[in-house]
Amino acid sequence: MNKIYNPERSQWKTVLKRPTQSVSEVEDIVSAVFSEIKAGGDTVVSNYTKKFDGVDLQDALVSSKEIEDSIKLISNDLKLAIQQAKNNIEKFHKAQKTEKITVETADGVLCWQEKRPIQKVGLYIPGGTAPLFSTILMLAIPANIAGCKEIVLCTPPNKEGKVHPAILYAANLCGVTKIFKVGGIQAIASMTFGTETIPPVYKIFGPGNQFVTVAKQIATKYGISIDMPAGPSELLVMADDTANAAFVASDLLSQAEHGVDSQVILVSTSKTLIDAVEVEVAKQIQDLPRKEIAFKAIANSKLIFVKDQQTAVDIINEYGPEHYILCVQDEEFFLEQTYNAGSVFIGNYTPESAGDYASGTNHTLPTNGFAKQYSGVNLDSFMKSMTFQKISKKGIREIGRTIELMAEAEGLQAHKNAVTLRLDSLK
């Protein structure tokens, strides 16, 4: 692990650099796949599935029988765990509902705002080295609460052309309308343009590798909205001498095992803690089934010592972590001054894993520093705010002259006339 002591502010950008490729380095590849799928549809998608996933599929749509079979392949204990997580996630996201806002801005001028669901949404669920069925709960549950009519899910198949049963079980449980065995760039492109079998959507959600992240950004060029640029997982832990070194190490490793391009950082005002965490990481990593992946991710990790709390919070805001664990004596100081983080986990007994699975908060969060300007997925992510207004005769008399004067000043005579005609009719 890389230990860094009191880095100068001028060095922070280099010290905090993420181990990811830039958009420009993969954009040409992604754009080429998009162009092919736009022109060739299902045939091109099938070719890419054969190339990247090593399986030749006759039909990418998951059948009802496959879904039924998946129920039998899941243990009762896992079903109960998924149900408890589902209940907690539903509670938290249902609480995010807001009522219609109505205001009479002037006599006879009634304005209101209502939220309406996005009708068609696409969910991308990575397969790869870990079947992230938990992400289905995080996306399909709020989509259903919002009232989305069409929920399309794409996920890569394995070498046998199958989808992990836990993914199918969770998708069925949470009301996904169609599931397709399509992964990577081709999945995002398919949901962007639509193919003979995969319907186009209005907004795409879900994490993925760097190619999926760039594909989602390319999709926006074609009028598709996305949740956020969510790439490789990352975690920053802020800890002092009150933290438990074994707990901190376990949290760092929980993110490191996601993928070789994951990044974990410890910021601390205690050299003693840093040393203890380093020892614990070396000890705990040996017992992990995914230790080869974790080893590579840990090679990109940083253990950063800073002299005081203010420097610590400044470096945290500069990094803008996806996940942020806070194990310090002075919680209030850090909470009040932290502005850039996807989701915050407070105290020795709040592991990041809780938010990944079952506490109720959403785990689809901005990475790569996008926490500085993006929110994590929430109920509003699946909705649009629409404004309405109704003006009475009294109301148009009340604000009509104001509209006329402003329209005339902007040189928009037709705008003025639309009001003048109405005012004249009331004389």
Give the pLDDT confidence of 153-168 residue by residue, as tens digits: 999 999 999 999 999 9
The residue annotated as part of the active site, out of 36, 93, 278, 323, is 323
- Rounded to the nearest integer, the mean pLDDT of the chain is 95
Q: Considering the domain delimited by 2-20+232-360, tell me its CATH architecture.
A: 3-Layer(aba) Sandwich (3.40)
Q: Which residues are annotated as a binding site for Zn(2+)?
A: 255, 258, 356, 415
Q: Could you give the percent of the chain with pLDDT greater than 70?
A: 99
Distance CA 165, CA 332 (A): 43
- Map residue 233 onto helix, strand or coil: coil
Q: Which residues are annotated as a binding site?
A: 124, 186, 209, 233, 255, 258, 323, 356, 410, 415
Task: Identify the weakest region by mean pLDDT among 166-170, 199-203, 205-209.
Answer: 205-209
The end-to-end CA distance of the chain, in Å, is 81
Provide the pLDDT for residue 232.
80
Task: Determine contact, residues 154/125, Cβ cutoff 8 Å.
Answer: yes
Task: Determine contact, residues 267/310, Cβ cutoff 8 Å.
Answer: no
Provide the pLDDT for residue 229.
78
- Map residue 161 onto helix, strand or coil: coil
pLDDT (tens digit per residue) in 219-253 = 999 999 999 877 788 999 999 999 999 999 999 99
Q: Considering the domain delimited by 392-425, tell me its CATH architecture.
A: Up-down Bundle (1.20)
Respond yes or no: is residue 323 known to be catalytic.
yes
Sequence-ordered list of residues with C-beta below 8 angstroms from that of 292, at least 6 positions apart, any chain: none
Provide the pLDDT for residue 22.
64
Sequence-ordered list of residues with C-beta below 8 angstroms from that of 291, at least 6 positions apart, any chain: 257, 285
- For the domain covering 23-99+118-227, report its CATH number: 3.40.50.1980
Residue 125 confidence (pLDDT) above 80: yes
Residue 262 confidence (pLDDT) above 80: yes
Q: Which residues are annotated as a binding site for NAD(+)?
A: 124, 186, 209
Provide the pLDDT for residue 20.
67
The phi and psi torsions of 72 (rounded to 5 degrees) equal -75, -20
pLDDT (tens digit per residue) in 206-226 = 988 889 989 999 999 999 999
pLDDT tier, 375 (very low <50, low <70, confident <90, very high otherwise): very high
Kindly list the domain boundaries of the chain, sorted by start residue. 2-20+232-360, 23-99+118-227, 392-425
Which is nearest to 391 in space by CA: 427, 425, 419?
419
Element (H, E) at 337: helix 331-337
Q: Do domains 2-20+232-360 and 23-99+118-227 have the same CATH topology?
A: yes
pLDDT (tens digit per residue) in 13-45 = 999 998 866 677 789 999 999 999 999 999 999
Provide the pLDDT for residue 337.
97
Is the pTM higher than 0.95? no
- Map residue 129 onto helix, strand or coil: coil
Which is nearest to 139 in space by CA: 378, 385, 384, 380?
378
Mean pLDDT of 352-360: 97
Respond yes or no: is residue 25 known to be catalytic.
no
The residue with tokens 């832990």 is 237
The residue annotated as part of the active site, out of 278, 322, 352, 363, is 322
Residue 403 confidence (pLDDT) above 70: yes
Provide the pLDDT for residue 139.
98
**Cα-only R_g, the chain:** 25
